[in-house]
Structure 1
Amino acid sequence: MPQHHQINYVELPCRDLAANKAFFSAVFGWQFIDYGPDYCAFADAGLDGGFYRAEQTSDASQGAALVVLYSHDLEASLQAVQQHGGQINKAIFSFPGGRRFHFTDPCGNEWAVWSAVAEAE
Structure 2
Amino acid sequence: MKKLILTLIVSVAFAGVALAQNTFSAADFKKNLGKTGTLCDTIYSLRIVSDTLTLLNMGGAYPNQKYTVAVKGNKINLNWADLKGKPLCVTGVFILFKDRPEIQIAEPEQINAK
TM-score by structure 2 length?
Answer: 0.30
Q: Which has the larger radius of gyration?
A: 2
TM-score by structure 1 length?
Answer: 0.29
Query: Whose helix proportion is higher, 1 or 2?
Result: 2
Query: Whose strand proportion is higher, 1 or 2?
Result: 2
